[in-house]
Structure 1
Amino acid sequence: MRIKNSVVVITGAASGIGRATALRFARRHVSLVLASRRLEALESLVAECTALGSRAIAVPTDTSEHDAVQELASRAVEEFGRIDVWVNNAAVSFFSPFLEVPLRDFERVIDVNLMGYVYGARAALERMQDQGAGVLVNVASIVGEVPQPYTSAYSVSKAAVRALGVSLRSELMLDRKKHIHVCTVLPPTIDTPFFHHAANYTGRRAVAMPPVYTPDRVAKAIMGVVEAPTREVAVGRIGRSMVRQHRLMPGRLEKVMAHQVEHTHLSRKEAAEDSSGNLYGPSLDPADARVTGGWSGRRRTAQRTIMGTALLGAGVGAVVFAEPLKAAAPVLAKRAAALGRAVVGNA
């Protein structure tokens, strides 16, 4: 669809992928309706988007509340007359063994990550049905294809978001709604503040698991599926490779994912106190209202991509040849780091 002059609603816009997406759309002079629980962060984003040539309004919204999401859609129509693009992006998570996470926290993740998307989809599609056109983008995750340990609710929610997209596309096809599209985007690990404020009951600090990509990489993918609607897009070479390999040899890749999370997603050096993070209220740290999370996504993408490729290949080989991944990883990491320095140095 034509992006210029369109009306775009983005949830979870205050930081990370949502903020990067808003800024990328703002450069195309759209009208933006920006939603998040953090009013101050939204107001600063409105100022940035306006400076780039777009019209923008901030609508504080808790997407786990149906009425609040309906109000968000109503504000968009009242202010700009229609909704051309709706990006479901708001999400929360925890890190915890399944048997130790409070059930209340599990339910909260499902409420935000799944029901929030359901509410957003209903609000958007109701308006798009009346208009006869529109694009709904659901931001899921690679873990919706390859679930990981310690984030059970997040993995469940993202798998469900993918299924929701398939179901909605099927209904639109049967109803011959050729100009209404539902697209799903699957990011891998992204350099955002997300890991700083996730709930945590592991006793270990959560860190971004390599390879780490920039939020703008996802924003570019979102804009791409809006311009040329595509049913589902995995972001990044490693993300696409994981999706393909999981479908070919799921058991093997699940072992790789488990080892990756255990050894690179939870710090072995830094402890963390039990915390419900931002599940029930937004982070009050101004640093969390940024696009990036300080994980050096842009500078280290080349190095970490090589590292991820090496570990992915070694993990699959480890199952085939019964070689323990843990023993192979340090050598591979050393080689990958050397290759990464060479790539960065020659960039």
Structure 2
Amino acid sequence: MKNLSWNASLLLTGLCLFLSSCSTSRLSRSDQRKTAGKTFVIVGASSGFGRGVAEQLGGYKANVVLAARRTDLLEEIARNIRAAGGNALVVPLDISKPEDVQRLATETLRQFGDIDVWVNMAGVGAIGRFWEIPVEDQARIVDVNLKGVIYGSHAAIRQFRTQGYGTLINMGSVESFSPLAYHASYAATKAGLLNLTQALNHELRLDGKGNIRVINVEPWAVDTPFWRHAANYSGREGRMAAMDPPQKVVNAVIRASLHGRHEMPVGWKATGAWFSHRIFPRLTERISANLVHRYQMRNAPPLSPTSGSAFQPMPEGRGVDDGVKKKMKEERRARKQENKTP
């Protein structure tokens, strides 16, 4: 009876997560109107998901606060938002510095008066065998991906408690619940974000703050500049199998600000991984590790060791999409052609 109850609970939870994960289309006109005039703080807004969310919100006439290290790029995005009818505020910062995060909150309140949604999207990866990645690079991953999100969450929650409402969105990953080989430190930080999100929701519940929500969004691997920006000591270009398009995650994040649950896998691959890991955790991790080994350590083109954008921002990788899927497709085509050549 106990096992039956547990299985029913797992099925119900999984169904809810599946329905959430399917909500990846563009918002309805009604939901677009709900975002108009709201203030969104986006940390990590200069490329990838952050840029996509910011520019889409601009089209919905929201107030968008753009925070990242690349000031010139933030100014470009701000112009796009204003041209689309939204309002934009640029606040350059390094998320690993708590004083920068506090300045972000202060300047946002000075400009817009309150904060409806705070999105922690800044993050960087470290790819390679754990013992071959310099320890200072691994420490930097923790500074940005975990400590930086703690700083941002702390600033957001304190403001939400003052105003009585708000939504905090933390950008997790399938690695929040299912770690991948050659991503050890990155996976550790994403697991930390899931636990942070869960603990915060319980604390807010016990404090009677039902109008404040904290959401961990968990995408599958996605074709963004993340792979170009990652610290990489694998000897090969960063990549993963069956990458999703970034627009799927962009739509899910904006929808989460209105309707999201506490844990939100994005798309059928992330949802399938969620289910699989709960039923067969070790088998799921083993299959995933073998998949990463094939795509990352065997098939990817050579790359010299690099710290990527971990310590300093890179001029490259300025868009939402980074063309990795297209490049991988061309490589497969070239390999097939070589195999056909006598």
Which residue of 1 is the match for residue 4 of structure 2? none
Partner of 1:284: 315
Q: Which residue number in structure 2 is paired with residue 293 of structure 1?
A: 322
**Counterpart residue identity of residue 29, structure 1:** K
Residue 260 of structure 2 corresponds to 229
1:206·1:267 contact (CA, 8 Å) conserved in 2? no
Tell me the secondary structure at the aligned position of residue 271 of structure 1: coil
- 1:195 partner letter: W
What secondary structure, in the 3-state scheme, does the structure 1 residue paired with 2:88 have? Answer: strand
Alignment of 1:5-84 (within 5 A): 5-84=37-116
Equivalence for 2:23: none
| Residue of structure 2 equivalent to 1:274 | 305
Q: 1:186·1:235 contact (CA, 8 Å) conserved in 2?
A: yes
Q: Give the partner amino acid of 1:170.
A: H
Aligned counterparts of 2:89 and 2:106: Cα–Cα separation in 1: 13
TM-score normalised according to structure 2 size: 0.84
| Alignment check: 8 A CA contact 1:23 1:49 kept | yes
Equivalent residues in 2 for 1:328-347, closer than 5 Å: none
Structure 1 residue aligned with 2:295:
264
Q: Residues 189-234 of structure 1, C-alpha deviation per residue, up to 9 Å, x if partnerless? A: 1110111121111112212x12111212111111111111311110
Residue segments in structure 2 that go unaligned for 5+ positions in a row? 1-30, 337-342
- Letter in structure 2 aligned against 1:84: D
For 1:259 and 1:210, the matched residues in 2 are separated by: 11
Indicate conservation of the 8 Å contact 1:206/1:266, yes or no.
Answer: no
Moved more, 193-202 or 264-273: 264-273
SS state at 2:130 partner: coil
Q: 1:170 to 1:213 in 2, by over 3 A?
A: same
**Unaligned 5+ residue runs, structure 1?**
301-329, 335-347
Q: Deviations over 1:94-130 (max 9, x none)?
A: 1121112111111100010001100000111111111
Counterpart residue number, 1:97: 129
Matches within 5 A, 1:90-239: 90-207=122-239, 209-239=240-270
Counterpart CA distance in 1 for 2:50 and 2:300 is 31
Distance 2:296 2:122 in 1: 21
Identity of aligned residues (%): 35
Separation (CA, whole Å) in 1 of partners of 2:296 and 2:216? 25
In the TM superposition, residue 156 of structure 1 has moved relative to its aligned partner by 0.3
Question: Could you state the TM-score of these two structures normalised by the residue count of structure 1?
Answer: 0.83
CA contact (8 A) 1:11 1:89 kept: yes
Which of these residues, 265, 268, 277, is aligned with residue 246 of structure 1? 277
State the one-letter code of the partner of 1:93.
G
How many matched pairs? 298
One-letter amino acid of the counterpart of residue 254, structure 1: E
Letter in 2 for 1:272: L
Tell me by how many angstroms 1:145 deviates. Answer: 1.1
Highest RCO, 1 vs 2 (Cα 8 Å, sep ≥ 6):
2
